[in-house]
Structure 1
């Protein structure tokens, strides 16, 4: 009996994700849970139940991006700032980081100069101040192969976008993002733009 139990335990350990679901890697999306329908989830200025309330989430809010966690609190963005909600009232989603794909709300942007890139209809669409939009057909979306790792490299015609888990500021607000972006534009001469990415729809 003991031998059978040990063999089963070893099998489960070696089997990896097929048996043991890896916890999420930030940033990723969560849904509000266990909040009464007539109540809200408070967003606080600091990870402390006595900190000032700077916003709220509805009891049925979904697709909330969490970029950082500490001591049972989760950092989210609200308006032009970031705040903290109690992680006990959030459930993480398992449909965010599919292998070789981008989440539906994936958006990267930067300042100096202002630019934004989104994935639309099989293309990376680059928007820059004073220039026409540029749509580059996506050739490949690469990921590390690590279960639920948000790291991505998007290879498109004439441009390559990489997004890596790292705290990132847009330099224009008090928001905090969980993905740092580098966009290489393969013009002559080539250019590189830096910024942040979000996956919140």
Structure 2
């Protein structure tokens, strides 16, 4: 009897229960905003909070790093703010199995560093160190549908990016991926920071 009830419940729930929509951080497009209007970015997750920026009605690939009660946290300039989630549609093409989104990049301080990945290489810049370009050997994922957790394996380096609230220490921006870089070779060392999937201009 209990088994029959469970099967019936799952059947009635349909694909909503069977398909995980998204895990943050991921990218969204602005939707349902009039062509002559804008989507306001507010200082707090409230319709009465100060407006600190706007998104165009046709803006695409907006990174959302957190959601609270129908509000989505996005980055704007060097700061962070909130937009109403009802005006955002999530993209299904962001976290593909064994791959990185096009805008994937990581940053850190102490020392300052940044990392960018292409289809075949990883480029690492560190303050006071020579720039490194390392052949990319693998991008590993968990196998969980649309899970952003990644391990990026390159010649002499491994980066792990884990969904977790993160601050880069350089701005008021908030990130949704915490980064750990392990460098091998003659002088093994570890770098920590944050990653973003916000496309670069």
- Normalising by structure 2, we get a TM-score of 0.91
Compute the displacement of 1:188 (Å): 2.4
Aligned to 1:129: 127
Paired residues of 1:30 and 1:65 also in contact (CA < 8 A):
yes
Partner of 2:195: 197
User: What does 1:1-201 align with in structure 2 at a 5 Å threshold?
Assistant: 20-201=18-199
2-structure distance, mates of 1:39, 1:10? 41
What are the Cα deviations for residues 118-146 of structure 1, in whole angstroms up to 9, with x where unaligned? Answer: 11241111111233321111111111100
Cα RMSD for the two superposed structures: 2.2
Task: Give 1:23 shift.
Answer: 1.5
| CA apart distance, 1:189 | 3.0
SS in 2 for 1:175: coil
Runs of at least 4 residues off by over 6 Å = 4-9
Unaligned runs of 5+ in 2: none
Which deviates further from its counterpart, 49-58 or 116-125?
A: 116-125
Q: Give the Cα–Cα distance (whole angstroms) in 2 for the partners of residues 176 and 85 of structure 1.
A: 14
Q: What TM-score do the two structures reach when normalised by structure 1?
A: 0.91
Distance 2:179 2:129 in 1: 21
Residues matched between the structures, number: 196
Shift, 1:199, TM fit? 0.1
